[in-house]
Every structure is written in structure tokens, then in C-alpha cells.
Amino acid sequence: MSTATVMENTDTAESERPRVEHAPIPFRTVVGVELRKAFDTRSGFWLMVAMAATGVIATGAVLAFANDSDLTYDNFGAAIGVPMTILLPVVAILAVTGEWSQRAGLTTFTLVPHRGRVIRAKLAVTVMIGLASMVLAFGIGAIGNVVGSGLRGVDTVWDLSFTSILYIVGADLIGMMIGFMLGVLMRNSPGAIVTYFSYWFVIPTISGLLAANQDWFEKAQPWVDFNYNQGQMYDGGFDATSWAQLAVTGTVWLLLPLAFGLWRVVRAEVK
């Protein structure tokens, strides 16, 4: 029997052999891995430690320096929520950019070839961390409110309604989605973080100056400034116009860039 015949018979046998298809990795497993990765890196770990520490420091500052009339749940929650509002989007950025900045993409996308599942898992982890952090913030604020009023001998004031809490949670989740969008769009940790802080500090300053000095921009600001509408959510009380302004600016500054970033992610070469 010739070598060609042997090779032909071997190829035929291999083609007739039933192909074994393995079940995809469950989505909950992918989410669990992404959640662990958010804390495994030094940057992610110390960022979480920093948020917990700032929450405790903020509570202590209110207890130490606030007047008796200022010992309210709203003030405790605001003191704790401000640093978390600033830092949580950075967590979202690092959760996305780790695949590229730490060169873990080849491993991740080899084990889970469908990149969309990995991105959805990262989004789920972003929301989970955000909700857990906000529950922790409100819990620390409640403890500080009870302890502070007890130490000062004043009545405990619970001046945050459930609706107000929902507005605050919604505004913080929007902030995390902005961080997630920047991570997907840029896939570079330093660049995304710098862009985020520009969005949080620089753009509102410029927008506020324009609104204060230009009447036309003061009227247009709610329709073009997403950061402005996000900030308004902390005050609550949105009407139909406010929701429409949030939807318009959110589509332009969040949803469209996120869609473009996702389109790039599924087509980008992983090195």
C-alpha cells in the first residue's frame, strides 16, 4: 500500500470520527472570574481600600466638625458618597482596560472566544460593584447618623426618602457607565482615567462659566451637557423635560460612544 493511500485512509477516518463539542463556559463563571480580577490587581485592590478608607474618614469628619443641626442622614450620605462617586468610575475603567493594559487579552479571549460575553460580564461586574459600594456607603452613613446623634444627644434625623436614594443610585450608576464606556472606547487605563477626570472636573467648570456668562448657553446647557444632567439627579425631582434632557445628552455622550467602542472591541486585534 502506497504512502498516499495510507494518508488518504487516515484522513477519511478522521473525517468520519464524531466531533466532540464542549459546552461553553457558563456566564456566571465568566462573571465570577471578572469579579475576582477586579480585586486581584494592586491597582484594583488599593482602589477599593481607598474607597473604604475615605468613607470612614468622611464619617469621622462629619462627627468631628458638623454642628448639631447638620447631623443628618443626608449629610452623612453626601460626605461618604462624594469620594465614592469620583472613584467608582475608575473601578469600571480598570475592569475593562485590564485585558489590554495588563496583556491578559490573549488568555481571556482564548478561553472565551466570544468577546461579547466577556464585555457583558465586565458590565455585570461594574453594576454589581457599584450597587454593593452604594449599599455600603448608605450603611456607613446610617451608622454614623445614629452614633453621631447619640453622642451629641440630639434626635436622629432621617431626611433621605426612598425616591431620593433611587436618584442618587441612578446618578452613581451613570457615572460608572461613563467609566465603563471610556474603558471600552480607549482600552488604555491612563488615557481613560485622565479623560474621565477631565469629564468630571474640567468640562463642568467650562460649561458653568459659559452658562454664567452666555444667556444662550444657559438655556442650551441641559440639552448638551450630560454632566450637568447627571449632577441634577442628586437633587431629584425630575419632570418630563428633565428626563428628556437626560435621555438626549446620555445618547450623545454615553450610548453612541459606547456603541462605537463595542464595535471596535469585537474587531480589534488582541496582542
Q: Give domain limits for the chain.
A: 24-265
pLDDT at 215 over 70: yes
Region 116-144: what's the mean pLDDT? 88
At residue 253, does pLDDT exceed 70?
yes
Model confidence band, residue 266 (pLDDT cutoffs 50, 70, 90): confident
pLDDT(43) > 90 = no
Task: Name the pTM for this structure.
Answer: 0.85
Residue 248 — pLDDT band, cuts 50, 70, 90? very high
Average pLDDT of the segment spanning 111-123: 82
pLDDT at 14 over 70: no
Go through 86-116 and write b for each residue having 16 or more CB atoms within 10 A of its CB, e for each that does not: bbbbbbbbbbbbbbbbeeebeebeeebeebe
Cα–Cα distance for residue pair 225/207, rounded to 1 Å: 8
Residue 221 has a pLDDT of 94
* Share above pLDDT 90 across residues of the chain, in percent, rounded to a whole number: 31
**What are the beta bridge partners of residue 205?**
none
Q: Residue 6's pLDDT is what?
A: 46
pLDDT number for residue 259: 94
Mean pLDDT of the region 141-158: 87
Mean pLDDT of 180-195: 91
